Amino acid sequence: MPTIELDRVILRTLLKKDANDFFEVGKDPLTTEFLTWGPFKTIKESRTMIKFTYFRRLARQEPIGYAILDKTNLKMIGTIEFHTFNQKLNTCEIGYVLARPYWNQGIMTDCVKAMTEVAFTHLGIDRVIIKHIRENMASQRVILKAGYDFIEITNQGFFHPKTHRFHDVYVYEKWRQQQ
């Protein structure tokens, strides 16, 4: 995957040595509130996630995922990744997380725009999908600001292991020719 330099951050392939910084990102209960994983209690958990979620993708010949680095100090402050590839439909989804001190500065919107470009130009994907649960309004703003189109709501489409209930899932798409 190409390393990408944006205004405030650099996207480079996630490395095993990012486990300490990833722990700092993922130990925050608010940051991980809407995510299926976390909050991390130990660095072993962030290490395990890098190994078994991100690096396992190599065996399927899928990209590991990007670490988002603060350009001022090269600290890893989040991740953005492709997941749920559908080879038949030539689609994939994007997922992301950013450390709380960096929220609301437009960073993830820039990252999603860049990632979408990577999907189309580098991976040859036809259609990128992003989803969020109804309650995640910040993620919705990111998706819309990045130019995605709303498709549908899957009512009660996701059982959240943290809330122990079903949540409505909002689904968005962007097609290659729209770029």
Ligand X SMILES: CC(C)(COP(=O)(O)OP(=O)(O)OC[C@H]1O[C@@H](n2cnc3c(N)ncnc32)[C@H](O)[C@@H]1OP(=O)(O)O)[C@@H](O)C(=O)NCCC(=O)NCCS
The distance of closest approach from Cβ of residue 124 to ligand X in the complex, given in angstroms and rounded to an integer, is: 24
The verdict on 22 binding ligand X (CB under 6 A) reads: no
Task: Give the nearer residue to ligand X in terms of CB position, either 114 or 142.
Answer: 142
| Candidates 3-11, 31-39, 117-125, 166-174; binding stretch for ligand X (CB under 6 A) | 31-39
The verdict on 97 binding ligand X (CB under 6 A) reads: yes
Phi, psi of 54, deg, nearest 5: -80, -55
Task: Give the nearer residue to ligand X in terms of CB position, either 13 or 109.
Answer: 109
CB proximity list for 90: less than 8 A, separation 6 or greater = 124, 125, 126, 127
| Candidates 2-10, 42-50, 139-147, 168-176; binding stretch for ligand X (CB under 6 A) | 139-147
Applying CB under 6 A, the residues found at the interface with ligand X are 31, 34-35, 96-98, 103-109, 132, 136-139, 141-142
